C-alpha cells in the first residue's frame, strides 16, 4: 500500500521557495551604492528570515527519498528517473544562463573556449549562481543506496530495544551529529580559508568550492531521514516545542542581526550570515522546527485552507520556479539598476520579490503543462519510485499503524 501524503512537506517546500527568492531579491538591492541606512538595516533583518530556505530544500529532499523509498526497483531505473527529473532541467538552464551572461557574437560559437566555459558551468555553475544546489543534492541522490543500506542496518539494530529506548538513542545520535556538524561549520567559517593555502591544488579546490559538497549539509540530510521514519515523533516535537521555540528564534534572530550590523561596518555584508556558520545553523534548525509546528497548527484551522492551498500549489511548481527565478530577477534588474531609488529600496525589494516569485511560478506551471516540459522544469509531481536495497519496515506499532513509520 502507498504511504499517506505528508501535506506539510509540500507546504514547507513552498515556503522555502519563497524564502530563496526573497533572499536573492534582497541581495540585488542591498549592495546598491545609493541605498540608505534604514533600508539596509531593514533588508539585513529581513534576510535572516530567509536563512531556512536552502537547508529546508535539503531537509525535504532527504525526507522524501527515505519516506517513499520502499519500492524495490533497480538502481539504473532509479538514477535514470533522478537524472531526467533533476539533472536534465539543470543542464538546460545551465546553458541558458551561460548564454545570457556572455557578451557573445556569432563568431564565438566557433571558439572552443565558449564550450569549455559552458561545460565547466555544468560542474561548477557560476552564471546561474543558484544552480549549485542541484549539483550538491544530486551527489546525495547518486549515493542514496549506500545511505539506505546504512539506515537499514540502523533499524535492525534498533529493533532489539523498546520504542522509548529507540527514541532516546536516536536523540543521542542526533545531538552528537549536531555537535559534529557545528564543529565542521566552525572549521569552514573560521579556519578553512587558511588551510587551503597549504594544500595541493586538488584539495584547495575542494575547500574553495565546499558549498557544492553535500557533506557540508549532512546534518539536514540526517534530519530529513529521521523525519521520514519518525514522522509522528517529529510532528510531536515540533508542536510541543513551538511555544518555547518562538522565544529561541526571536533571541537568535536579534543576536544574528546585531552581529551582522556590527561586523558589516558602513556596508552590509550578507555573507556574515552564511549557511556554513555555526550560529546560522542553530537559527536554521530553530526556524525549521518553528515553521513545521506552525504548519501543523494551521492544519487544525479551517480558515487557513486558502493559504495552505496556495503553499501547496507553490510547492508543486517550486523546482521549476527555483530554476528560472534568477533569470526573471536579472530581467527586472536590467530596468531597475539605472533608477535612483533613494529611500525606496526596501519597497522595491518587496515588489520585485512578488513579481519574481509569481512570474517564475507561472513559467514553471506553463512548461509543466506543455509536452516535454518536464525536461525543462522537472516533474510537477514528485516521483515516489526510488531504489531500495532493503525494506525499511519495522515491526508494527500503534503509532506506525496510523500511517507513518517510526524509527524510534
pLDDT in tens, 187-233: 988 887 777 677 777 777 788 888 999 999 999 999 999 999 999 99
Look up cell 516545542; give the residue.
241
What is the distance between the alpha carbons of residues 159 and 406, in angstroms, rounded to a whole number? 11
Instruction: Give the pLDDT of residue 402.
Output: 37
Instruction: Give the pLDDT of residue 372.
Output: 87
CB atoms inside a 10 Å sphere around CB 338: 7
Instruction: Give the pLDDT of residue 380.
Output: 56
Instruction: Give the pLDDT of residue 392.
Output: 32
What is the distance between the alpha carbons of residues 280 and 287, in angstroms, rounded to a whole number? 10
What is the distance between the alpha carbons of residues 328 and 332, in angstroms, rounded to a whole number? 6
pTM: 0.89
Query: In this structure, are residues 206 and 124 in contact, taking their beta carbons and an 8 Å threshold?
Result: no
| Grid coordinates belonging to 176 | 552528537
Instruction: Give the pLDDT of residue 202.
Output: 72
What is the distance between the alpha carbons of residues 17 and 25, in angstroms, rounded to a whole number? 12
Q: Please write the tens of the pLDDT for every residue from 157-196.
A: 988 888 889 999 999 999 999 999 999 999 988 887 777 6
Instruction: Give the pLDDT of residue 397.
Output: 34
Return the HEC string of 229-275. Answer: HEHHHHHHHHHHCHHHHHHHHHHHHHHHHHHHHHHHCCCCCHHHHCC
DSSP class of residue 401 equals: G
Instruction: Give the pLDDT of residue 75.
Output: 85
Query: In this structure, are residues 41 and 368 in contact, taking their beta carbons and an 8 Å threshold?
Result: no
Residue ranges of the chain with pLDDT lower than 50? 381-408
Strand partners, 230: 406
Amino acid at each position: 500500500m502507498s504511504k499517506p501524503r505528508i501535506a506539510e512537506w509540500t507546504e514547507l517546500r513552498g515556503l522555502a521557495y519563497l524564502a530563496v527568492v526573497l533572499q536573492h531579491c534582497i541581495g540585488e538591492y542591498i549592495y546598491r551604492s545609493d541605498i540608505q541606512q534604514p533600508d539596509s538595516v531593514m533588508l539585513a533583518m529581513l534576510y535572516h528570515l530567509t536563512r531556512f530556505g536552502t537547508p529546508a530544500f535539503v531537509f525535504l529532499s532527504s525526507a522524501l527519498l527515505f519516506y517513499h523509498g520502499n519500492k524495490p526497483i533497480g538502481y539504473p531505473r532509479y538514477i535514470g528517473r533522478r537524472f531526467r527529473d533533476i539533472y536534465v532541467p539543470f543542464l538546460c538552464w545551465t546553458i541558458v544562463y551561460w548564454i545570457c551572461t556572455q557578451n557573445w557574437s556569432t563568431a564565438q560559437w566557433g571558439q572552443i573556449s565558449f564550450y569549455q566555459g559552458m561545460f565547466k558551468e555544468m560542474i561548477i555553475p557560476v552564471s546561474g549562481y543558484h544552480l549549485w544546489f542541484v549539483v550538491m543534492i544530486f551527489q546525495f541522490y547518486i549515493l542514496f543506496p549506500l545511505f539506505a543500506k546504512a539506515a537499514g542496518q540502523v533499524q535492525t539494530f534498533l529493533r532489539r530495544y523498546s520504542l522509548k529506548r529507540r527514541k532516546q538513542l536516536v536523540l543521542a545520535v542526533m545531538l552528537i551529529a549536531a555537535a559534529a556538524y557545528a564543529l565542521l561549520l566552525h572549521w569552514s567559517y573560521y579556519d578553512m580559508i587558511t588551510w587551503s593555502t597549504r594544500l595541493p591544488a586538488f584539495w584547495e579546490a575542494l575547500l574553495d568550492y565546499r558549498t557544492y559538497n553535500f557533506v557540508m549539509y549532512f546534518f539536514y540530510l540526517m534530519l530529513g531521514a529521521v523525519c521520514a521514519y519518525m514522522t509522528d515523533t517529529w510532528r510531536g516535537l515540533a508542536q510541543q516545542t513551538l511555544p518555547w521555540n518562538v522565544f529561541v528564534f526571536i533571541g537568535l534572530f536579534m543576536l544574528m542581526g546585531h552581529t551582522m550590523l556590527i561586523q558589516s561596518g558602513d556596508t552590509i555584508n550578507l555573507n556574515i550570515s552564511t549557511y556554513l556558520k555555526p550560529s546560522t545553523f542553530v537559527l536554521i534548525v530553530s526556524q525549521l522546527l518553528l515553521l513545521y509546528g506552525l504548519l501543523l497548527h494551521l492544519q487544525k484551522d479551517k480558515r487557513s485552507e486558502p493559504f495552505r492551498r496556495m503553499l501547496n500549489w507553490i510547492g508543486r511548481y517550486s523546482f521549476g520556479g527555483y530554476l528560472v527565478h534568477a533569470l526573471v530577477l536579472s530581467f527586472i534588474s536590467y530596468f531597475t539598476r539605472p533608477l535612483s531609488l533613494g529611500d525606496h529600496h526596501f519597497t522595491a525589494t518587496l515588489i520585485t520579490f512578488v513579481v519574481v516569485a509569481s512570474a517564475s511560478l507561472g513559467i514553471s506551471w506553463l512548461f509543466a503543462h506543455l509536452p516535454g516540459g518536464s525536461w525543462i522544469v522537472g516533474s510537477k509531481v514528485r516521483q515516489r519510485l526510488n531504489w531500495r536495497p532493503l525494506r525499511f519496515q519495522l515491526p508494527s506499532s500503534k503509532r506506525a499503524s496510523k500511517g507513518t513509520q517510526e524509527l524510534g
